[in-house]
Structure 1
Amino acid sequence: MSKKIKKFIALLVIVFFTAGIFVGCGQSNSTQQESQEAKQQEEVKKTGELRLATDWPYPFHGNPFGPGGIGGAWWFAYEPFAYYIPQTGEYIPRLAESWKVEGNKVTVNLRKDAKFSDGEPFTSKDVINTVNLIQAMWQWPYDIESVEAPDDNTVIFTLSKTASSSFVHTLLTDGAMASLAPVHVYGDFAKSAQEVADLGKKIFYLQTEGKTVPEDMKAEYDKKSDELRKEVNDFSPFKTLGKLPVVGAFEPVKVTQSEMVLEANKYYWAYPQMKIDKVVFKKWSSNEFVWASLISNEIDAAHPSMPKDVVEQLSTLNPKLNVLTVSDLSDIALVFNFKKPLFQDLNLRKAIAHILDRDKIRDVSVWQANSYENYADGVLKSMEAKWVTQDTLQKLTKYNTDVAAAEEILKNAGYKKVGDTWQQPNGQPVAFTLSVYGPHNDWVLAAKEVVQQLNNFGFKVEIKLIPEGMRDQVMRSGDYDVAIEFGSAWWGYPHPLTGYQRLYDGDVSAITNFPAKDKYQTPWGELSPYDLTLELQKNLQDENKAMEIIQQLAYITNEYLPVIPLYEKVLPIYYNDGYRVKGWPAEDDAIWSLAAGGIERVYDLLITTGKLVPAK
């Protein structure tokens, strides 16, 4: 056993000793200990309890608009209209029974059997009040122009002219959209919230149209907004009401600095299916504490970063502990500043793609990440099989590590190697700086490996750390040559559209200045990735047309390399199977893909569908 593992086990013992987890530290009778453990397990089985780790504000106020919201209890307490499974593209109805989209109107039919944990019915009035309050408090989402309630179980959203077609996904799946501010709890703020929301939308729409906002309108908005924000932020349902009425499956009932206890909402529409009636959160004080809690069965599931050697010892440390990884819906990439003439040369970018050993970069940076060993098509590696056809893949250049191929590309383009240094066709050395955000340690490790590999090849590359708090300023000002950054990311709407928008008309486009509006030669003729992205957005509901456009975007992205993806970020999930609970899905079950952006949704779905049950 390595010294590192021995130290870790010693740390585990210390952590639990100081936390008071070991019962009777002077007790040495193994029979008594076994009896105590058996008794504890029996109690757990009776209560149907799931233990997790998270963070929360303390003192706990129970106000989702207050500092820290309600912490990790969010997805247990606030249910969206639907869950979305990225791996399959399936929507699972929750507070909505059904919905339909007609032009700019979205009609949502609410569950008639949904109730808050205090027994109050959930109705369309709660949705309207919630939308008004989040628009007033968060100045979002102004994509919703208005909300109507023809009856208690129907809500009609009218979307603004500027709302993207993907906003419907946000409307259906965002946990804040449906039930954050029930009327019987936040009714005192309803009138003011609607006034502030309406004013905010008027100002936003005027600004969007390039019109001048009257000063008296801005002054009125600022005054009313400040007053409402103070009143809402001062409100503590947990203190004032002595409870936090929620429409979700679990309600926070007891909160201390070290533990938050949630009990099942007995009025919840799926309560009869639930076999787990309590969720206990331990305070996520450090990764080391969470490791120890998982290994000792103190908690049942979590997603900490663990060293490779610790993970390799898990089966010995705790045979019931399992691990899997799911996509975090983003990748880390090498991005180029296209204002620099050096990187306007496609041959150089293709050579770099062949020089880099991306598996090694992944191993030294985030060892559990998914590797991009062949392609750079802009689709997340874990989603490639779903979105990029085999016919398209056969058209794409494979960027496997191949130093000889890189040399041939450069020589054919007029580069030459003089001594140990490659020179450009103009005789200047291939020299540049790779910038990376200093506080992101995994990015720094990746950058050091990239620099080493490129220098070994014969380029002159130096690393430059971006100071804390300066990342956006440096990247958006163009004060870099090459950098480590998020590349394709599917945050918000897990679909290729989101990634391509980011590359060709979003955050990455803004920092790289890749000429996305230019037309590029493809098997389908000359096409512009910017135009294709707009066309994809318009054709999302036409699956065949959307797939055709995705193939074209994948081709352009792979062949013209606006970025070079290094690895896909993943979320490692550790779970105890059979100690306190059982019924976890298979590792390849698509339900795990719901974890990105809110892993508690996975636990909530497994409990409320009756799949996760007490261990027998």
Structure 2
Amino acid sequence: MTPTPSNNALLNELSRRRLLKAVGFGAVGVAGASALSACSGGNGDSDGVTRFAGVFDFDLDSQTRNVHVEDGALLMNSVYRDLFLCSGAFYNWGAHEWDYLLLEGHEWDGDDLIVSLRSGLKWSDGTDLNADDMVRSYAMRVLEAPSWGTGFPQVQDLEKLDDLSVRLGFEDPFPNIELSILKHRIVSKTTYADFGEQALDLVNGGVRQGDDEHLEWNAEFIEFNPDEIVCSGPYKFDRAQMTDARITLVRNEDGYRGTEVNFDEVVVHKGDNRQSALLVQQGEVDYSTLAPSAADQQAFQGVEGFRWIEHPGYDGCGLMFNYAAKPELKDVRVRKALAYVLDGDQIGQVARGEAYGRVTHYAGLADIQAEEVFSAEELEDFETFDQDIDKATELLEEAGWTKEDGKWYLPDGDEASFEVIGVSGWGDFELTATQVEEAWNSFGIKTEARNVPEDNPWGIWAAGDFEVAVRHWGNPELPDYWGAFQMNFLAENAGTEDSPGQSFDLKVESPSQGEVDLEELVNTARRAESEEEQKEAVRVMAIVFNELLPRIPIWTYKYLAPAIEGVRVQSFDDDHPAAQNDIYEDNPIILALIQGDLTPNEG
């Protein structure tokens, strides 16, 4: 049955009410900010010390100082990590070229990658930063690297060439395999002395992740928690100024650009998404990468000196299907119908406020990338999935579904139903799940939304313990286009008994491309000998994604970072070489601070 106009009106009214409810919380934000300010200690700039202020939800007690593990280490999941533990280089996603930090450069010598450090670098404990640090850090990462990764897993052997250079031997390297290596954060040989030496011997002896020798090494390594973090960047931790409320990083004159940075200190306030928004409203934070709600975004407009800094997104939020749990989803008409029921703009605005982007091309790539791979004329041929209730009805009826008394039934007569899981504490995922629930229920498909614990949604997704999951699509971690399809097709799709994930068959029949092996295409793009070859494989995968819609993209991340000018920071420049990079991979504001392009307010 085709929905009546009142069905469409009901869908729109439900979405409108949800949006107004989300925005309506704005008044609470300003009131709460004053209370938070009372215990924040002010900005403390009257002492003549220049400070840059940020915010992150750290925990001094539970987080380790073993920074080589990164996850769970103090501030290592924040953008501030570059300030005290610099990466070797960052890749300019816009210009497709390298900008070196700790590294002086790199070159290929046949199948060998030669990586060289800058001279004269020192650690915050006064020791020299040299090739011994580099080769041991690389060895530890090779030993820890899962076989499915790119870069370190393909390293065959390691050799220190001189005090500043290391050779990494590969077998049959491919373009951009060096990305993770050049970006790697080198750690102190003093801190990791025994672990680094052992790892180097193990790697050169052929040991890799999962081998008995690695498991023995790792059992001790994951328990390792040094007393302090030895720093390579322009800042270091001041233990006298570390409290549960804030961490102060002070100038590390021996570190990389320690004498060139323009701020004496960097203060990182403790705060989750909500608390960080209150600190911005109170003017106590210069820049934040934590996600503000739609209500907080509205409240920011009244803050003196406030501005948005927009960072591009290369991934988004959508729906991942479990084809084993719900075999009816194997019919592409059903998947497309479910997409046509949803209003992506409305869902994105409720979930993220203005910090979302609409999906235009449904190519499995962020639109910014799809427009690099395809011409405008070619993209006109891609099917779009803007809300169209009539189209959704037509597709389901073609698939043999029927609608009686406002409820949809499968071809076998069973009532259609889905459970959609979000993630507790991930506000945008929670709101996306509840809006999908509303939309599909209003359309006549019984749907229930629930949230899984935030401590391990990845395990739940991989195990296939879901019917429909709010999940990412695209990929912000790799500038190479193929990374998006590794995410879309291969992530949570191992197909094993313990990790069935999506249970999506990677050998598909495309209306335009014929029989396609998607896993093979991902590997073809990954190991392509040229950018042209890579793009051709990516083009095929994007076309297949659009034709078969194996998961539904709903909205794209648009990162709107709140910033305040004229208090501690004079101004923020939008024109940085990393401006097109992912906000959490190579943050342009933090890099500008390191490179001396961010200056204190003279007023």
TM-score (norm 1): 0.80
Aligned to 1:31: none
Query: Which whole-Å CA distance do the structure 2 matches of 1:413 and 1:286 have between them?
Result: 46
User: Cα–Cα, structure 1 residues 60 and 278, in superposed 2: closer, same or farther, change >3 Å?
Assistant: farther
Query: Which whole-Å CA distance do the structure 1 matches of 2:261 and 2:551 have between them?
Result: 46
Amino acid at match of 1:152: D
Deviation at 1:166, TM superposition (A): 5.5
Q: SS where residue 248 of structure 1 aligns?
A: coil
**Gapped regions of structure 2 (runs ≥ 5):** 1-22, 495-499
In the alignment, is the contact (CA less than 8 A) between 2:52 and 2:265 conserved in 1? yes
Aligned to 2:182: 172
In the alignment, is the contact (CA less than 8 A) between 1:330 and 1:380 conserved in 2? yes
Structure number with higher helix proportion: 1
1:506 to 2:506 alignment: no
Query: Which whole-Å CA distance do the structure 2 matches of 1:18 and 1:82 have between them?
Result: 39
In the alignment, is the contact (CA less than 8 A) between 1:379 and 1:496 conserved in 2? yes
Amino acid at match of 1:505: L
1:581 to 2:572 alignment: no
User: Cα–Cα, structure 1 residues 281 and 419, in superposed 2: closer, same or farther, change >3 Å?
Assistant: closer
Q: Tell me which of 516, 520, 528 is aligned to 1:531.
A: 520
Query: Which whole-Å CA distance do the structure 1 matches of 2:26 and 2:413 have between them?
Result: 53
Deviation at 1:373, TM superposition (A): 4.1
User: Cα–Cα, structure 1 residues 513 and 305, in superposed 2: closer, same or farther, change >3 Å?
Assistant: same
In the alignment, is the contact (CA less than 8 A) between 2:333 and 2:396 conserved in 1? yes
Q: SS where residue 248 of structure 2 aligns?
A: strand
Query: Which whole-Å CA distance do the structure 2 matches of 1:422 and 1:4 have between them?
Result: 36
5 Å-filtered alignment, 1:102-501, equals 104-117=111-124, 120-134=127-141, 141-159=152-170, 167-175=177-185, 179-183=186-190, 186-187=192-193, 190-195=196-201, 201-202=206-207, 204=209, 218=212, 226=219, 232-233=224-225, 235-236=226-227, 238=228, 245-254=230-239, 255-257=241-243, 258-271=245-258, 273-282=260-269, 284-316=270-302, 318-327=303-312, 329-339=314-324, 340-438=326-424, 440-466=426-452, 471=457, 474-491=460-477, 493-501=478-486
Deviation at 1:68, TM superposition (A): 4.7
Query: Which whole-Å CA distance do the structure 1 matches of 2:598 and 2:214 have between them?
Result: 48
Aligned to 1:64: 67
Q: SS where residue 361 of structure 1 aligns?
A: helix
In the alignment, is the contact (CA less than 8 A) between 1:51 and 1:279 conserved in 2? yes
Query: Which whole-Å CA distance do the structure 2 matches of 1:228 and 1:511 have between them?
Result: 30
User: Cα–Cα, structure 1 residues 476 and 11, in superposed 2: closer, same or farther, change >3 Å?
Assistant: closer
1:604 to 2:590 alignment: yes
Identify the range of structure 1 (561-570 vs 163-172) with the bigger mean alpha-carbon deviation.
163-172
Q: SS where residue 178 of structure 2 aligns?
A: helix
In the alignment, is the contact (CA less than 8 A) between 2:359 and 2:556 conserved in 1? no
Deviation at 1:124, TM superposition (A): 1.4
Q: SS where residue 535 of structure 2 aligns?
A: helix
In the alignment, is the contact (CA less than 8 A) between 2:24 and 2:295 conserved in 1? no
User: Cα–Cα, structure 1 residues 508 and 92, in superposed 2: closer, same or farther, change >3 Å?
Assistant: farther
Deviation at 1:580, TM superposition (A): 1.2
Deviation at 1:564, TM superposition (A): 0.5
User: Cα–Cα, structure 1 residues 165 and 498, in superposed 2: closer, same or farther, change >3 Å?
Assistant: same
Deviation at 1:487, TM superposition (A): 2.8
Deviation at 1:224, TM superposition (A): 5.7
In the alignment, is the contact (CA less than 8 A) between 1:502 and 1:508 conserved in 2? no
Amino acid at match of 2:566: G
Q: SS where residue 487 of structure 1 aligns?
A: strand
Query: Which whole-Å CA distance do the structure 1 matches of 2:81 and 2:280 have between them?
Result: 22
1:38-66 per-position Cα deviation (integer Å, ceiling 9, x unaligned) = xx76754xx44212223253599855258
Aligned to 2:552: 564
In the alignment, is the contact (CA less than 8 A) between 1:325 and 1:368 conserved in 2? no
Q: Tell me which of 514, 520, 524 is aligned to 2:510.
A: 520
Identify the range of structure 1 (422-431 vs 374-383) with the bigger mean alpha-carbon deviation.
422-431
In the alignment, is the contact (CA less than 8 A) between 1:389 and 1:551 conserved in 2? no
User: Cα–Cα, structure 1 residues 195 and 471, in superposed 2: closer, same or farther, change >3 Å?
Assistant: same
User: Cα–Cα, structure 1 residues 464 and 16, in superposed 2: closer, same or farther, change >3 Å?
Assistant: closer
Q: SS where residue 582 of structure 1 aligns?
A: coil
Query: Which whole-Å CA distance do the structure 1 matches of 2:33 and 2:388 have between them?
Result: 44
Identify the range of structure 1 (64-73 vs 147-156) with the bigger mean alpha-carbon deviation.
64-73
CA RMSD of aligned residues (A): 3.5
Amino acid at match of 1:9: V
Deviation at 1:136, TM superposition (A): 6.2
Deviation at 1:500, TM superposition (A): 0.4
In the alignment, is the contact (CA less than 8 A) between 1:358 and 1:566 conserved in 2? yes
Deviation at 1:150, TM superposition (A): 1.7
In the alignment, is the contact (CA less than 8 A) between 2:234 and 2:255 conserved in 1? yes
**Number of residue equivalences:** 563
User: Cα–Cα, structure 1 residues 543 and 453, in superposed 2: closer, same or farther, change >3 Å?
Assistant: same
In the alignment, is the contact (CA less than 8 A) between 2:66 and 2:73 conserved in 1? yes
Identify the range of structure 1 (80-89 vs 465-474) with the bigger mean alpha-carbon deviation.
465-474
Query: Which whole-Å CA distance do the structure 2 matches of 1:549 and 1:189 have between them?
Result: 41
Query: Which whole-Å CA distance do the structure 1 matches of 2:576 and 2:208 have between them?
Result: 46
Aligned to 1:10: 31
In the alignment, is the contact (CA less than 8 A) between 1:60 and 1:70 conserved in 2? yes
Amino acid at match of 1:277: D
User: Cα–Cα, structure 1 residues 482 and 202, in superposed 2: closer, same or farther, change >3 Å?
Assistant: same
Deviation at 1:461, TM superposition (A): 3.0
Q: SS where residue 364 of structure 2 aligns?
A: coil
Amino acid at match of 1:57: L
Q: Tell me which of 515, 529, 536 is aligned to 1:548.
A: 536
Aligned to 2:52: 50
Query: Which whole-Å CA distance do the structure 2 matches of 1:465 and 1:269 have between them?
Result: 44
In the alignment, is the contact (CA less than 8 A) between 2:311 and 2:580 conserved in 1? yes
Query: Which whole-Å CA distance do the structure 2 matches of 1:297 and 1:74 have between them?
Result: 23
1:235-268 per-position Cα deviation (integer Å, ceiling 9, x unaligned) = 42x4xxxxx5432222223442133332333344
Query: Which whole-Å CA distance do the structure 1 matches of 2:216 and 2:178 have between them?
Result: 32
**Gapped regions of structure 1 (runs ≥ 5):** 23-39, 208-212, 239-243
